[in-house]
Chains A and B, each alone.
Chain A
Amino acid sequence: MSAANGWGRMHISFLIHNAYGIGGTIRTTFNLASTLAEQHDVEVVSVFRHREEPVFSPGGKVRLRHLVDLRKGTPGYEGDDPEYERPAAVFPATEGRYKQYSALTDRRIAEHLRTLDSDVVVGTRPGLNVHIAQQARRGPVRVGQEHLTLSTHSQPLKLTLRTHYPRLDAVTTVTEADAATYRKLMRLPGVRVEAVPNSIPAPAVAPADGTGKWVVAAGRLAPAKRYDVLIRAFEKVVAERPDWKLRIYGAGAERAKLRALIDKRGLYNHVFLMGPANPLDPEWVKGSIGAVTSSLESFGMTIVEAMRCGLPVVSTDCPHGPGEIIDDGVDGLLVPVGKTDKIAAGLLKLINDDELRQRMGRAALASSARFDPAEVAGRYERLFGDLVARGSLRGSLHRTRGALLSSAFRTSDASRSALRRVRAA
């Protein structure tokens, strides 16, 4: 990101579900916000706050605040507010987090967006993007981020997004593949659809030296990660190279199943469930090869993390991210989804060739620098700057569009209050 960016200092406001929890969206939003904050005025507004301090640090220059306080046992606690018990009407019912939203969040988010005087407002999940599309006051550039993918959304949610997203100025996806899907399946005239990858900072530890005989995997122990496939593939690796071992970091519902699989296959001297680790970088550098066997990765954060630590990654070529991150045969290997033979062959190729492994590790280190927060924030900065400039150039047009939209708002407001009356009755 350059200081002489030509757009001047922008005020950028992120809207996020819960900045105080743990998750990829939180981490990547903080990475982006703190980097943008070096040049711009940046705040992160969290709909919910359930604990005193955020787990991840948003960085010193980023302002963090919340809209609804769910800190149990504190005077500010609002979980017993009657409005909190009533279902949300603005936050779409088709969104996965709908049950956590309420009449209270509807009102607080609306108040926030109505009074927001930033240059740019950025939503970080579909339901919040819908709030922004409907309720942001005229003026701020409206950006909706897609951290998952359009194709994994339910049909009803896709319809909701089709309805509301035309009111955004831009939609960002984390992969080119997903941006293409958006352009193909949604009618978004005048809305800029742009792929901007997640950012991953350079690790604070020295990169791996590639000499340890460890394969490392990390992520939630969830079915889509297919760690069962990884363990079965690693059984074939052990048959040829019993001196190599596998560590799987993460917690999740699949743990007991994976434990049983390890025991059944007699792999307890070679495959280890390490439990969760935060940060992960000091764990990646204990390994020499990263492994990802997911059936689906909306981006592939762990692939980039491992590469930034100097590990070549053997990953399934699943939708959507891995193929855009790994240059097959250069800085890692892409293998077919679910094929234990092919996954084992990929791992063994790097295990059996020290020189190749070291070379790919160095290539991974170099190529993954494009995901550095400075690079990614620079892309966002250019996008935001263009949109802000477009907004001021087309100010009159904007006002016309706003006038048209405001009547539409009145209609939907009326229908919403009608709905509320029905519920209350």
Chain B
Amino acid sequence: MTPEDRTPPVPANAAGSGGPTTPEESTIVSAPAPPRADCIADSAGGLTFDLDAPGSGPDPSEPGHWTAALVLRRRGDDEAEEVRLPLAPDGEGRLRAVLPSTVALPEGRWDVYAAFADTEPRRLVPGLADLRSLVDRRPGPSTSPLAVRIPYATKHGNLSLRSWLRAPHAEAGDLHPDASGLTAHGRLHRVADPAAWLADAVVEARLRRAPGLVVTAPVTREKRADDAPAEEDGQDFSFTLDYARLAAEWRGGLDVWDLWLCPADGSEPARLARLLDDVVDKQQVFAYPGLPVDAEYAPAQAGPYYTTDNDLSVRIEERPPVAG
């Protein structure tokens, strides 16, 4: 609230004397709104930001506008990690910055600011986000790291980006949990020869509280879906993870098993994750039931879920009492 729109405070002892006066004369006097950025995503992982220029609009005769920049700052301990993108007039009276998929953005949460001339960067608020090309995204064949950036509004209403950068990447698809275990379908990206990479590969479930405790499941190579492009041949796989083997290690509380796709040759494994769409936080949207499992220790339930980083894990925990 700015000082201008404050009405004089009512003294405590004035209660009952009619209350504050002239509310009808109050007017809205607000602080200058934070700059708002529209964002358009392309299917290759690039983002375009469009925002109104401060003041009355960009004036080509005003060289100050040419020094404007979009500033991305990674959240975390390392204050210095920053990416600056030029913010230039788009010819239609607005300013535009482009973040191509080729600009590497390490994984994490990036807060988005605009800096005009030499002023302190101002945090942007999200405007319109056209992310339709991220829905059902199918990245083409390549061996360079897969870049995923999803813009979102923070809980305080500011603009941030969630970024992932992975090679290889194991995209989780349909999940079929049942009482005996989890059957999952996935697609491997960003390796030179997916079919060879998947030959004799396994899925490792790694217990988070006890590194080194690993349960493996064989991986089956799948035919690509009828509607998938031919170049995706050899990328699809599935596996079934037996809940009983996970439950055998359970001693109450919450056990989280992180799932990794591991090639037979011992080279770099891929964390199973769901990244190729427009949903920044999968956990609530791609939700799956926890089902009762037989654990030696006590009644338990098991189910797959997506972590805050949208990686796929399985949780074993206490079975809630049956209602009613």
Partners in one complex: yes
Give the interface of A toward B (CB within 8 A): 52-53, 63-69, 74-76, 78, 80-83, 104, 108, 111-112, 115, 204-206, 208, 212-214, 243, 259, 263, 268-269, 272-275, 279, 281-282, 285-286
B212: interface (CB < 8 Å) = no
Q: Do residues B130 and A65 form an inter-chain contact, with CB atoms below 8 A? A: no
Q: CA A272 – CA B10 in complex, angstroms?
A: 50
B186 to chain A, nearest CB (A): 13
A205-B128, A285-B132 in contact; A268/B288 too (CB < 8 A)? yes
Chain B interface category by residue count: 35 or more
A205-B128, A269-B175, A286-B135 in contact; A78/B20 too (CB < 8 A)? yes
Which chain A residue shows the least CB distance to B288?
Answer: A268
B173 to chain A, nearest CB (A): 8
Q: Contacts A78-B20, A204-B128 given; 16 further ones with Cβ under 8 A?
A: A64-B28, A66-B26, A69-B7, A69-B20, A75-B6, A75-B8, A75-B10, A76-B20, A112-B24, A208-B132, A268-B287, A272-B285, A275-B284, A282-B131, A282-B132, A285-B132
Enumerate chain B residues within 8 angstroms of A259, measured Cβ to Cβ: 287
Q: CA A232 – CA B288 in complex, angstroms?
A: 18
Q: Do residues B285 and A111 form an inter-chain contact, with CB atoms below 8 A? A: no
Give the interface of B toward A (CB within 8 A): 1, 6-10, 15-16, 19-20, 23-24, 26-28, 30, 128-132, 135-136, 174-176, 225, 227, 278-279, 284-289
Which chain A residue shows the least CB distance to B185?
Answer: A269
B252 to chain A, nearest CB (A): 24
- Listed A/B pairs (7) with beta-carbon separation below 8 Å: A66-B23, A108-B23, A206-B130, A268-B286, A272-B285, A274-B285, A275-B285
Q: Do residues B128 and A279 form an inter-chain contact, with CB atoms below 8 A? A: yes
Q: Do residues A74 and B1 form an inter-chain contact, with CB atoms below 8 A? A: yes
- Interface of B, secondary structure class, is loop
**Residue of B1, B20, B28 with highest tally of chain A CB at under 10 A:** B28
Q: CA A204 – CA B131 in complex, angstroms?
A: 13
Q: Do residues B287 and A81 form an inter-chain contact, with CB atoms below 8 A? A: no
Enumerate chain B residues within 8 angstroms of A208, measured Cβ to Cβ: 132
Q: CA A76 – CA B26 in complex, angstroms?
A: 10
Q: CA A52 – CA B28 in complex, angstroms?
A: 9
Enumerate chain B residues within 8 angstroms of A78, measured Cβ to Cβ: 19-20, 23
Which chain B residue shows the least CB distance to A53?
Answer: B30
Identify which of A75, A104, A115 contacts B19 (C-beta below 8 A). Answer: A104
Q: Do residues B285 and A273 form an inter-chain contact, with CB atoms below 8 A? A: yes
Enumerate chain B residues within 8 angstroms of A68, measured Cβ to Cβ: 23
10 nearest A-B residue pairs (beta carbon)? A75-B9, A263-B289, A269-B174, A81-B19, A76-B7, A286-B132, A286-B135, A205-B130, A268-B288, A272-B285
